Structure formats: C-alpha cells, structure tokens
Amino acid sequence: MLWPIAPEEIKNTLGMKYANYKVNNDIPEAKLARKFLELVGGLTYIPDQLKSAEIETAIDNLLQAHRGFDNFYTEPPFACALKISIGDTGSVPRQLRNYYVFSLVEVFLTNGNGVAVNAQPIYSELIKRFDSTQAILAILSFTQEKIASKLRVDLCEKKFRLLLQILKVKITSDIVNDLISDIENFQNSMDLLRDDLNIKEKVKALFKIIK
C-alpha cells in the first residue's frame, strides 16, 4: 500500500477533497472519498470541523436507537457507524470528548432490560481505546443523571463494575485508584454514589484536573 509513504501534503489534500465533496453535497464522490480514507486508515486527515460534525451525528443516532423501541436490533448498525467515525486511533475532537465518553458509557451499561449482543463488542473495543483522560471521565460518569439512574438496575450496575475492570489498566493516578476502590466497596445502591461526601470530594478534585 502506498498510503503510508505518501507525503503529508497529499494526505491532507485528499482529506480536504472529501470535505469539499461533503460541503458541496456531491454525494457519490463523498461516499467514494470516505470509503477510500476508511480503507487506508486516513480518517485523521478529515478536517476537524467536519470530523466533529460526523462524530456528533453518529453519537446522536446511536443514542436515539438505544433509547428507542426495539433497540436490540436497531442499535448495532449505529454502533458500527460510530466506530467508523471514530477511526482506529480512538481520538475525538476536544469539544466532543465528554459527550462521546458519557454516551458510550450509557450504551455500554445497556437499558437495563437486556444486552444488544451485536453492539456490545463494539462498545468494549471503543472503551479499550480510551486515553487516560477519557478513562477517568468514564469512571466519573456516575455523576451524570442518565448514568446514575441506570445504576439502580442490577444489570447496569454489573456492567458498570465491568467497565471499571476494563479501565483500571489505564489508570496510574493514586486518587483515581482510590476512587475506584471506594466505588467497588460502596455498600448502598450505586445510584447514590454521587451523594456520598467522601466520593464527592474526590470527584470534585478530579474534574478540576481533567478540565
């Protein structure tokens, strides 16, 4: 494959061509250009503004499917679309970081009624690609209303504990590891985690660090 040895100027030009096709609504050309960039691993050369819009749309569509009727069947294609939008690096624009992480945690936890079997491996793969900051945000996701409400349900609590196990390998900070330990040893329903005074202090400190 010639892509790895192609000059950066050419790679950037191809990314801009795709962006121009999208802006000008040249649908066939845009589809072909996008497919090419996917095949060669060149999604990082899509201009940030366009990439951000694509990822945000992919997240919106996934959440709509997840929260809707018959999600076990409608969810997987949108999970695939998000995976494609994110690309192999797992990086997302800064302005979408929190939305992406919290949304991915929400769908990973399931709706409490069952697991979208064909989507779960995709969620696990994307979560394993989290960088350290994204991992910390995922651990702190219990502070969000949507996530906290899910943690009243046994299946969702079980999935959250699994999430912690997946993310532990990315954590080197003592304060984060202490928080994980507090969460794992919490004696009440996990939807009450964010109301615990000791945990609230650690959460406050961590949100300051990752701003």
**What is the spatial distance between Cα 118 and Cα 125, in angstroms, rounded to a whole number?**
12
Query: How far apart are the two ends of the chain, measured CA to CA in Å?
Result: 40
**How would you write the pLDDT of the chain (211 residues) with one tens digit per residue?**
677 888 888 888 887 887 787 777 788 888 888 888 888 888 878 887 888 888 999 999 999 999 998 899 999 999 999 998 888 777 888 899 999 999 999 999 999 999 999 999 999 999 999 999 999 999 999 999 999 999 999 999 999 999 999 999 999 889 999 999 999 999 999 999 999 999 999 999 998 888 7
- For the chain, the domains span 1-46, 55-209
For tokens 């996917």, name the residue: 38
Contact (Cβ atoms closer than 8 angstroms) between residue 135 and residue 167: yes
Nearest to 66 by CA among 116, 100, 102, 101: 116
Q: Which residues contact 148 (CB under 8 A, 6 or more apart)?
A: 142, 191, 193, 194
Nearest to 206 by CA among 126, 124, 161, 143: 143
Q: pLDDT digit string (tens) for 159-208? A: 999 999 999 999 988 999 999 999 999 999 999 999 999 999 999 999 88
pTM: 0.85
